């Protein structure tokens, strides 16, 4: 259900979303094309922040996806301190949490602008996490 909401959101920005699929025994929640990059998407609607072990699994999926694979990890309840610490210096993905999603759905930020800022932050700092509204 959460994946379907994301697909509709991605479609509204012309990100050419693809629903869940399996590649080489890896389940992928979805994929998008944004700017000149393709991303695989991991979507979690959980009661607690996502832990580092789950991020490690996704990082492996991203590395196997393609040579220049990128990932987008979406979690409604955010990410644990261990998750953010582990992926604060080098990351194959960017993150979007529930606060980010609400800001986009509420019209305070455009999703494409948010993803560009997060990708730039990851490229410049190595960190997967940039809270919505925080300057780079």
Query: What is the chain's alpha carbon radius of gyration, rounded to the nearest angstrom?
Result: 14
Q: At 134, is the pLDDT very low, low, confident or very high (cuts 50, 70, 90)? A: low
- Kindly state the average pLDDT of the residues 68-80: 92
CA distances from 126 to 1, 87, 89 (A): 31, 7, 4
Q: Which of 44, 33, 40, 83 is nearest to 62 (CA)?
A: 40
Question: Do residues 71 and 95 touch, judged by C-beta distance below 8 A?
Answer: no
- Kindly state the average pLDDT of the residues 81-92: 96
Per-residue pLDDT of 106-118, as tens digits, reads 999 999 999 999 9
Of the chain, the percentage scoring pLDDT greater than 90 comes to 79
Distance (Å, whole) CA 56 – CA 15: 25
Per-residue pLDDT of 2-20, as tens digits, reads 888 999 999 999 999 998 8
- All domains of the chain in start order, with CATH: 2-125 (3.40.1350.10)
Q: Which residues contact 124 (CB under 8 A, 6 or more apart)?
A: 136
Q: Which of 33, 29, 26, 14 is nearest to 75 (CA)?
A: 29
And the tokens for 101? 């999603």
94 pLDDT higher than 70: yes
136 pLDDT higher than 70: no
């Amino acid at each position: 259900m959460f994946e379907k909401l994301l697909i509709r959101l991605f479609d509204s920005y012309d990100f050419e979303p693809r629903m869940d699929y399996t590649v080489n025994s890896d389940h992928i929640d979805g994929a998008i094309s944004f700017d000149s990059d393709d991303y695989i998407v991991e979507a979690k609607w959980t009661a607690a922040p996502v832990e580092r072990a789950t991020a490690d699994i996704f990082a492996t999926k991203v590395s196997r996806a393609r040579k220049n694979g990128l990932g987008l990890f979406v979690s409604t309840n955010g990410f644990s301190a261990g998750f953010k610490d582990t992926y604060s210096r080098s990351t194959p993905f960017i993150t979007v949490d529930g606060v980010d999603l609400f800001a986009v759905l509420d019209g305070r930020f455009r999703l494409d602008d948010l993803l560009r800022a997060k990708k730039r932050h990851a490229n410049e700092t190595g960190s997967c996490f940039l809270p919505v509204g925080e300057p780079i």
